[in-house]
Amino acid sequence: MAAAAPPSTAPGKPRPSLPPCAESGRRPRERRNMAAAAGGGSRADNGYGGQQPRRRKGPGALATAYLVVYNVVMTAGWLVIAVGLVRAYLAKGSYHSLYYSIEKPLKFFQTGALLEILHCAFGIVPSSVVLTAFQVMSRVFLTWAVTHSVKEVQTEDSVLLFVVAWTITEIIRYSFYTFSLLNHLPYLIKWARYTLFIILYPMGVSGELLTIYAALPFVRQSGLYSISLPNKYNFSFDYYTFLILVMISYIPLFPQLYFHMLRQRRKVLSHTEEHKKSE
Amino acid sequence: MKHYEVEILDAKTREKLCFLDKVEPQATIAEIKNLFTKTHPQWYPARQSLRLDPKGRSLKDEDILQSLPVGTTATFYFRDLGAQISWVTVFLTEYAGPLLIYLLFYFRVPFLYGPRYDFTASRHAVVHLACACHSFHYIKRLLETLFVHRFSHGTMPLRNIFKNCTYYWGFAAWMAYYINHPLYTPPAYGDEQVKLALAVFLFCQLGNFSIHVALRNLRPAGSKTRKIPYPTRNPFTWLFLLVSCPNYTYEVGSWIGFTIMTQCLPVALFSLVGFVQMAIWAQGKHRSYLREFRDYPPLRSPIVPFLL
């Protein structure tokens, strides 16, 4: 059905060469996804792996220099944490309660990631402010509002689980950004970033959930961060219930992010394969 | 009479979706949309966006074919706006919710508070007053939707109704829970605080209503004309001298009044979120006034006199 009848005249004659109206046909032209955006990187992924690459004018020279310094410092920081964990393990002979040996650098460098929200806000990194804020805040929440605040969970093994996942992820991620900014990205780093998340992401999420779960009874008992009625602001907040809601929120969020990263992986790594084949 | 030919292409894929020949030069975009619907019934006119340029502005329903910069074969690009729902439906639903939900908490319907409080009444006068004010506010909004507002657009995307209702209904439940709670604490400064708050609230309700009426009178029934609003004889409209969107200003004022009346933090938070949203809308409206009218009064700010 190629033609519609205009209101006042006899039915119009169909145009012979028109494709059928109903078929939507061709898929939209696929965007070429460049893994190494000059702008330094983006986080659709809670830092565990895939990137949301975009073609954009990169940041200026000063911003690039700053970002290189930032990413190098962060890589170094997380390496410190990694080394700290290994040394503590060797010294203690067991992997329990290693949190204390890296508590300070963990807090410092994870909190430092808040700067990344500003990077997006000022446009020197081509990522969504909201998405980045969400991801960084969730890490900061785990670090301060759960692990730091509920002392009793600091000896839990689940803490080690997410700390290790975060450490490996962040070392790779920040070095990825560093190399990208310098336009010299080794394939190994790109591969690592888009592959290791397959294990690290579930590992980290498990560690986080188990830690929150472990904190629950202590929160209930101490009334941490909770306020109850009556009070003059007519407000109440139950941190225990809040933590349960946070745990529940992982259910819709985790699969979405995970599959997004798997899709990113397919795009980014297969594109590189093509690139390599054509050389 | 020379007829036009119209071809409609998909804005993203450039695929030819439809070809219309023998279209009258005086045909409006609305009529063309109706023709397009005939061949693609799933795309009713309200969800069609037709444009001259794939990335350009949507054409208006009132635009006439021969007044557009097209040759005798016009090419339009089509974007699907997604399932649509009428503004009136959305407004009625999103306002009816808070009205009813608040009353559920006011009457302490079972399962909201402990069983020993079911169907009991608060012993604080301010709680009854707050219920009256809240209910009045939403009844006013429902009546305005039915009898006062003149909408520029007939429809909005369907997903908005879920978003909007979650916002309104959610906050209404949250506020109502605390205000009507058996352990509610009345305002610290007692009757004086409540009286002041009530005065602010009523003043702003009247103000808001006055602005809505003034805006309605700017636009004749069934038209979509846009004019600069000016102060009228009604003193509440004199805020137009300082502000582009005094309806929002008064609305924030009403909620500030309600916050003071109930001394309830969730109400304060609701007022704050509402203010942020309305400030964004006011900025947008202010900017489009400035773009459309060369002689727009320079003294006006979007929502807060001189400041914002």
In B32-99 the beta strands, taken as DSSP E runs, fall at 48-51, 73-80, 84-86
Distance (Å, rounded) from C-alpha A30 to C-alpha A58? 22
Residues B62 and B143 in one domain: no
- Pairwise CB contact (< 8 Å): A4 & B39: yes
What DSSP line would sit under A71-112, residue for residue?
HHHHHHHHHHHHHHHHHHHHHHSSSTT-HHHHHHHHHHHHHH
- Residue A99 annotated to the active site: no
* pLDDT at residue B302 tops 80: yes
- Give yes or no for B189 touching A (CB within 8 A): no
pLDDT at B131 (0 to 100) = 97
Of B66, B82, B98, which residue is a domain's last?
Answer: B82
Residue A260's nearest CA partner among A35, A40, A42, A52 is A52
Distance from B258 to chain A by nearest Cα, in Å? 14
Answer yes or no: are the C-beta atoms of B105 and B173 closer than 8 Å.
yes
Distance from B1 to chain A by nearest Cα, in Å? 12
Residues B143 and B183 in one domain: yes
Residues B201 and B116 in one domain: yes
Residue A124's nearest CA partner among A71, A49, A184, A72 is A71
Please identify among residues 196-215 of chain B the ones whose CB lies closer than 8 Å to any CB of chain A: none
Residues B24 and B151 in one domain: no
B305 within domain boundaries:
no
B298 within domain boundaries:
no
- Pairwise CB contact (< 8 Å): A6 & B24: yes
Strand, helix or coil at A31?
coil
Residues B187 and B272 in one domain: yes
Distance (Å, rounded) from C-alpha B145 to C-alpha B134? 17
* pLDDT at residue A279 tops 70: no
Q: Which of A248-262, B222-236, B269-283, B289-303 has the highest mean pLDDT?
A: B269-283
- Token representation of residue A264: 């990113």
Q: Which of A170, A194, A208, A258 is catalytic?
A: A208
pLDDT tens digits for range A59-83: 788 999 999 999 999 999 999 999 9
- Residue A274 annotated to the active site: no
DSSP designation for A13:
P
Task: Give the least confident one: A24-28, A103-107, B10-14, B136-140.
Answer: A24-28
Question: From the candidates A17, A234, A241, A245, which should be mutated to test the interface with B, based on the most B CB atoms within 10 A?
Answer: A234
pLDDT tens digits for range B72-102: 888 899 999 999 999 999 999 999 999 999 9
**Region for residue B14 given its phi and psi (left: phi exceeds 0; alpha: psi -120 to 50; beta: otherwise):** left
**Region for residue A43 given its phi and psi (left: phi exceeds 0; alpha: psi -120 to 50; beta: otherwise):** beta
Distance from B223 to chain A by nearest Cα, in Å? 25
- Pairwise CB contact (< 8 Å): A12 & B20: yes
Q: Are strands B48-51 and B73-80 parallel, antiparallel or unpaired?
A: antiparallel
Residue B258's nearest CA partner among B188, B185, B194 is B194
Answer yes or no: are the C-beta atoms of B144 and B212 closer than 8 Å.
yes
- Pairwise CB contact (< 8 Å): A21 & B18: yes
| More confident position, B62 or B137 | B137
* pLDDT at residue A27 tops 70: no
B308 within domain boundaries:
no
* pLDDT at residue B135 tops 50: yes
Question: From the candidates B265, B270, B271, which should be mutated to test the interface with A, based on the most A CB atoms within 10 A?
Answer: B265
B287 within domain boundaries:
yes
Question: From the candidates B5, B21, B75, B194, which should be mutated to test the interface with A, based on the most A CB atoms within 10 A?
Answer: B21
Task: Give the least confident one: A138-147, A180-189, B18-27.
Answer: B18-27
- The count of structural domains within chain B is 2
Mean pLDDT for A129-136 is: 89
Q: Which of A201, A239, A240, A258 is catalytic?
A: A201
Residues B140 and B38 in one domain: no
pLDDT at A33 (0 to 100) = 35
pLDDT at B26 (0 to 100) = 86
Distance (Å, rounded) from C-alpha A223 to C-alpha A241? 11
Residue B18's nearest CA partner among B1, B42, B35 is B35
* pLDDT at residue A217 tops 90: yes
Distance (Å, rounded) from C-alpha B121 to C-alpha A128? 49
Mean pLDDT for A229-251 is: 95
Residues B231 and B206 in one domain: yes
* pLDDT at residue B244 tops 70: yes
Residue B243's nearest CA partner among B206, B207, B219, B213 is B207
- At residue B2 the predicted structure's pLDDT band, cuts being 50, 70 and 90, is confident
| More confident position, A16 or B66 | B66
Nearest CA in chain B to A24: B15
Q: Which residues of A touch B17 (CB under 8 A)?
A: 21
- Token representation of residue B115: 């069983």
Q: Which residues contact B7 (CB under 8 A, 6 or more apart)?
A: B16, B18, B19, B20, B73, B74, B75, B76
Q: Which residues of A touch B23 (CB under 8 A)?
A: 6
pLDDT at A47 (0 to 100) = 53
* pLDDT at residue B48 tops 60: yes
Parent domain of B167: 85-292
Residues B186 and B67 in one domain: no
B302 within domain boundaries:
no
The residue type of B127 is V
Residue A223 exposure: Cα atoms within 13 Å on the Cβ side: 4
pLDDT at B194 (0 to 100) = 97
Task: Give the least confident one: A158-172, A218-232, B55-69, B172-186.
Answer: B55-69
Residue B50's nearest CA partner among B73, B21, B76, B16 is B76
Mean pLDDT for A211-228 is: 96
State the sign of the Cα–Cα–Cα–Cα dihedral A237, A240, A241, A244.
Answer: positive
What DSSP line would sit under B201-227, residue for residue?
HHHHHHHHHHHHHHHHHHS-TT-----
Of the partner residues A19, A27, A232, the one whose CB lies closest to the CB of residue B263: A232
Residues B159 and B238 in one domain: yes
B90 within domain boundaries:
yes
ipTM score here? Answer: 0.80
B43 within domain boundaries:
yes
pLDDT at A21 (0 to 100) = 37
Residues B192 and B252 in one domain: yes
Of B18, B49, B82, which residue is a domain's last?
Answer: B82
pLDDT at B305 (0 to 100) = 93
- Pairwise CB contact (< 8 Å): B266 & A235: yes
Q: Which secondary-structure segment (H or E) carries B16?
A: strand B16-23
Kindly report the CATH number assigned to the domain that includes residue B36.
Answer: 3.10.20.90
Residues B156 and B206 in one domain: yes
Mean pLDDT for A10-32 is: 38
* pLDDT at residue A51 tops 50: no
- At residue B198 the predicted structure's pLDDT band, cuts being 50, 70 and 90, is very high
Q: Which residues of B touch A26 (CB under 8 A)?
A: 13, 15
Q: Which residues of B touch A15 (CB under 8 A)?
A: 19, 21
pLDDT tens digits for range B136-182: 999 999 999 999 988 877 889 999 999 999 999 999 999 999 999 99
Mean pLDDT for B222-247 is: 90
What's the Cα-to-Cα distance from A46 to each of A54, A70, A104, A143, A262, rounded to whole Å? 18, 18, 22, 14, 13
Of B53, B82, B111, which residue is a domain's last?
Answer: B82
Distance from A232 to chain B by nearest Cα, in Å? 6
pLDDT at A38 (0 to 100) = 35
Residue A121 exposure: Cα atoms within 13 Å on the Cβ side: 7
pLDDT at A79 (0 to 100) = 97
Answer yes or no: are the C-beta atoms of A124 and A62 closer than 8 Å.
no
pLDDT at A275 (0 to 100) = 61
pLDDT at A20 (0 to 100) = 35
Residues B122 and B172 in one domain: yes
Q: Which residues of A touch B178 (CB under 8 A)?
A: 229, 234-236
Burial status of residue A134 (CB atoms within 10 A of its CB: 0-12, 13-18, 19 or more): middle
pLDDT at A200 (0 to 100) = 96
- Give yes or no for B183 touching A (CB within 8 A): yes
